[in-house]
Structure 1
Amino acid sequence: MQDDRLSLWNITKYQQQAKTTKLDEVARESAVTVQINGEQYATIVCSPANLELLVIGFLASEGIIRTTNQINTLSIDKDKGFAYVELDFPVKLETKSERWIGSCCGKSREFYLKQDVKTAKTIYSDMELSTDQATKLMKAFDHQAEIFDRTGGVHQAALASSDHIIESFIDIGRHNALDKLYGYILKHRIPMKEKCILFSGRMSSEVMLKVSKMGAGILLAKSAPTDLALKLASDLNITAAGFVRENSLNVYTHTNRVYQKINKNVTI
């Protein structure tokens, strides 16, 4: 059965002096237009999977909803590329023109600063991780990266406790992967005090703000941070750890949440 996150494409491959033709797997890219209370709000370019969770997380990230209880109905028409959302309250949309939210990163939210002021929150979490737990979680995260391994064209975000991955999502857009995760957290009403987020991409300021909105105290990432992301993490009481590998990681902010077990058998 064909995975709806993948598409097959005929390619010509050159390797050293050899030329071959083959079917290759590439990441699928689709567009879904979100209508809120009958009014078109935004079109999101995304991977066509877990669209309900994507829409829920997107609306929460935009500051339109805070809980799934505010959604009366949410239906997805994959064939037409529409998500129809009816809320239990009227919404005054601040723009009448359709917004196009691309799968690339950068300024992907028109209301970025205004809405984030309303919805970003300081994290109060006592969760701690040993360096061993952090690297084991990233190893498990990597083992779930099958679609990336097959295409190289997606980002991944996951929710974890101190000892296992709870759920993970992929998307061609890194913000979409995080929004799917946010939608999952809201839909299942998951308490976040003892949870952390794992992420495949760079820790930007927008990524850090999303982690704040989800309520996680620790972010483990495979890549690097930006300075603004670290300033936000410091202000919002988030532990930001990057370059998490099999035997190493860099902890940039609120380092008290990450500790190293001392092996008493080791002598110096």
Structure 2
Amino acid sequence: MIDSYQYDITEYKAGGFGMKPVESIREVPLTIIINGREAVTLLCTGKYPEELAVGFLKSDAFLQSPEQVQDIVVEEDEERIVVRVEVCHDPWKDRVIERSITSGCGKGTNFGRNVATISRRRLDGDIRVRPERILELVNELHRRSTLYCRTRGCHNSSLCSADEMLLFREDIGRHNAIDMICGRCFLHNESVSDRMIVSTGRVASEILLKVVRMGVPIMVSTAVATRFSVELARKTGITLVGNVKDDSFWVYNDPGRILME
């Protein structure tokens, strides 16, 4: 799949103008239709459309179990992707559509309902990680970020154990990258109670909500967290780490999951 396009642009540098070839990351609308009704249109690179669609539906509470998914059909061309998901239950029953403007791509999420529901959840995953391993995993995340190095236009997220990186995804939004990971684990019925998410990008509340709904007990980001995210982390018990640098990071909330020797 083509994930970037090359253009000749004009660059101003050192007091003068010159021509320069650059790569721009692909951006395409992906519409998710569940049981014949449109759920959302996301903007993405077009990678892993099945994982992205299912991950979004899982994180937005359209799906609770992989057994509910009967069929997934992807229709794709250069300008648009449509993912049609058929499920065995009524995903729209008793559902109030209340879209909020969030800091991510797409139409937003059912924010109020998600916060009210997830704030009552406690994450008790049994995973312990050494501080130096967090730094090593972030370095590995940067090494794998080849699309970002070429385009400077994407975020990167990964699913990790306490010792190694297990799954890597990249997209124009960190929301999409995390939903891809969620979709992959959901479709394969993989437990994530002893895993952590390592990601680039600011930890806004909708990002933390996705990670909590997945059931991942540790969230690590190279960027900082918002106040709402910190409050949600402390209510749910998720370990939240941010502002990871070469030899340092901030721990916003940690119920004993980071081994402080």
TM-score normalised according to structure 1 size? 0.88
5 Å matches for 1:145-224?
Answer: 145-224=145-224
Alignment-derived partner of residue 105 in structure 1: 104
* Counterpart AA for 2:237: N
Q: Closer, same or farther in 2 for the Cα pair 1:246/1:203, shift >3 Å? A: same
5 Å matches for 1:76-87?
Answer: 76-79=74-77, 80-87=80-87
Shift of 1:96: 8.6
Cα distance in 2, alignment partners of residues 250 and 167 from structure 1: 24
User: Percentage identity across aligned positions?
Assistant: 26
Alignment-derived partner of residue 25 in structure 2: 27
Q: Which has the larger radius of gyration?
A: 1
Divergent runs of 4+, >4 A:
93-97, 99-102
Q: Does 1:251 align with 2:251?
A: yes
Once the two structures are superposed, what CA deviation does each residue of 1:4-61 show, in whole Å capped at 9, x if it has no partner? Answer: 2212222112221343323311111000111111222221111111111000001001
Q: Closer, same or farther in 2 for the Cα pair 1:214/1:42, shift >3 Å? A: same
Shift of 1:172: 0.9
The correspondence for 1:15, drawn from 3, 13, 16, is 13
CA contact (8 A) 2:223 2:244 kept: yes
Across the two proteins, how many residue pairs are aligned to each other?
257
CA contact (8 A) 2:46 2:81 kept: no
SS in 1 for 2:67: helix
SS in 2 for 1:251: strand
TM-score normalised according to structure 2 size? 0.90
Cα distance in 2, alignment partners of residues 52 and 159 from structure 1: 18
Cα distance in 2, alignment partners of residues 45 and 189 from structure 1: 26
Shift of 1:110: 4.0
CA contact (8 A) 1:42 1:101 kept: no
Gaps in structure 1 of 5+ consecutive residues: 262-268
Deviates more, 1:58-67 or 1:13-22: 13-22
SS in 1 for 2:108: coil
